[in-house]
Structure formats: structure tokens, C-alpha cells
Amino acid sequence: MRCDEAEILLQALIDGELDAGHAREVEAHVATCAKCAALLKDYREMSKAVADAGARYTAPPELRRRIEASLPVQRPSRRAVLRGFALGSAVSAIAATGLVAIVLRNDDEARIQSEIVSAHLRSLQAGHLTDVLSTDQHTVKPWFNGRLDVAPPVVDLTAQGFTLVGGRLDYVDARALGAVVYRRRSHVINLFVAQTTNTGHRAATIETIQGFNIRRWSERGLNFWAVSDLAMDELADFGEKFESAMRSG
């Protein structure tokens, strides 16, 4: 490999965009070329320095206010009311859960998926992402005990490139459900878990709603929705890794 080729491919190596075969080729070149080795080291440090520097900007509050004001007036949604109600007391949350059908009907699925996306979006607002913040599955999993009528499986996928961030209690369709939060680069993945009476396996489907990809599947009496702005193939990859880790665990 020539240096000019290597320098282009170095970028992809740094950014994690190179497939394994090319990565080996570049690494082999770098191992024998002091110039390219120095560049790789400098670029990696530069990348980290830029990320650490906090060079992002925050939109002025006045701009945010102007944009919000330009949108039509929002009425308080039914969900917001239910959410407040459910959060108000654990007892009333359980009562509310008992009042709605446990099994999600097919004709409700589109609506549920849209609510799942809204829940994902709410979680991205500052400070809403996690109730329990931990990269340790043995901390996140017990946290759900007593908060939910299900035990969401919490799987460590760090080695597969998906970092566990924490867990959260969320409300969709007026029911409490568990959200396990993962991160891939800067992308957040919310994995929503709810109980279902159907204990069979249901193969995964992927849909795009409002620009977010949702991978939905069922296993061992649980419904799963993985939501993210990750590309479809990466989210599919996440789902497959999660399913296989769950089976082997």
C-alpha cells in the first residue's frame, strides 16, 4: 500500500468505518511506515482533543423561544396527563396498568410504535435519558425489581460495540414499561420491554417512523422495541446481537 492511499484509509480507520480486511492492510502499512504511524497517532489525538474541547454551541434561548412560538399552540396531550398521573403514585400506576388490555392488539401497533418514538424523543431531552445510570448490567437489572411487573433482560453488549448506559421507567399506551438504554458512538438506542401473554417467538421487523428506526420482536413472553436514529443495518445488528446474547445467557 502506498502512503497516499494509506492516508485516505487512515481516516476511515480512525472513524471506525473500515471493514476488517482493509483495516488489517492499513495497520500493516502503518507498522512499517513511520510517517503514516505518526499521522495516525496525531489524528487520533486531534480527534480526541476536538471531542474533549466542547466546541459545540448552544442555541440562544431567544432563538428557541422564537421557534417554539412559531409552532401552533399545543394542547396538553392525553399521554402527558396519564404520565403525570402514573408518576404520581406507584399504586395508581399499577391500577392504571390493570385497566388496560395486557395484550397489544394488531390494530393498535401503529399507534403504539408512534408512542414508542415519542417516548424515545422525550428521553433525549436533557436529563430524561436514565433513571439509573450504570454501565454494569448487574446494577441496571435489579433496579427494575419492584418497579415493573416484568424483569427486562439487561445484556452487556460492550464487546459488540454497544455500550450500556442505564435504565429508565417509561410509559407507553398508559402502561409502565422498562427502557434499557444503550449507546453507539453518539447515537442513543432505547430498548423498550413490555410483557405480552404470547410466549412464542416473533421474528423481528424494522420500520421507519418520523426518521427513527424501530426494530420490533418478541421472545419469552416479552415484546421488544429497539428505537434509534442509527442506520437501519446498525440497528438490525444491535437487535441480532441482543437476541443471540439473550439466548446464550
Partner 1 sequence: MPVKISDNNPDRARRFRDAALPYLDDVYTLARYLLRDASDAEDAVQECYLRALKHFESYRGPAIKPWLFAILRNVCHAEYARRAHAPAGNVEDLPDSAEQVPVWQEAQETPEAQIVRRWDADTVRRLIAALAEPFRETFVLREIQNLSYREIADVAEVPVGTVMSRLARARAMLRSAWLAEQEQPK
Summarize as ranges the residues that interact with partner 1 (CB under 8 A): 3-4, 7-12, 15, 17, 34-35, 37-39, 42-43, 45-60, 63-64, 66-75, 77, 117-118, 121-122, 124-125, 185-187, 208, 210-213, 229-232
Q: How far is the CB of 168 from partner 1 (least distance, A)?
A: 16
- Specify the residue, 156 or 207, whose C-beta has the smaller distance to partner 1: 207
- Specify the residue, 49 or 94, whose C-beta has the smaller distance to partner 1: 49
Q: How far is the CB of 40 from partner 1 (least distance, A)?
A: 11
Rounded-to-integer distance, Cα 24 and Cα 8, Å: 15
Rounded-to-integer distance, Cα 179 and Cα 34, Å: 47
Query: Sheet of 222-228: strands edge to edge?
Result: 132-133, 163-172, 175-184, 187-195, 222-228, 212-219, 202-209
- Specify the residue, 143 or 212, whose C-beta has the smaller distance to partner 1: 212
- Specify the residue, 5 or 136, whose C-beta has the smaller distance to partner 1: 5
One-letter identity of residue 26: V
- Specify the residue, 144 or 212, whose C-beta has the smaller distance to partner 1: 212
Task: Give CA separation, 199 vs 87, 155, 189, 191, 221, in Å.
Answer: 29, 20, 25, 19, 4
Task: Give CA separation, 76 vs 83, 144, 176, 190, in Å.
Answer: 11, 29, 20, 25
Element (H, E) at 181: strand 175-184
Q: Taken in order 173, 136, 244, 239, is the CA torsion positive or negative?
A: positive
- Specify the residue, 140 or 227, whose C-beta has the smaller distance to partner 1: 227
Residue pair 183/163 in contact (Cβ under 8 Å)? The answer is: yes
Q: How far is the CB of 94 from partner 1 (least distance, A)?
A: 27
Beta bridge pairs of residue 192: 179, 225
- Specify the residue, 125 or 248, whose C-beta has the smaller distance to partner 1: 125
Q: How far is the CB of 57 from partner 1 (least distance, A)?
A: 4
Please state the length of the chain.
249
Q: How far is the CB of 83 from partner 1 (least distance, A)?
A: 14
Q: How far is the CB of 179 from partner 1 (least distance, A)?
A: 16
Q: How far is the CB of 176 from partner 1 (least distance, A)?
A: 20
Rounded-to-integer distance, Cα 157 and Cα 164, Å: 7
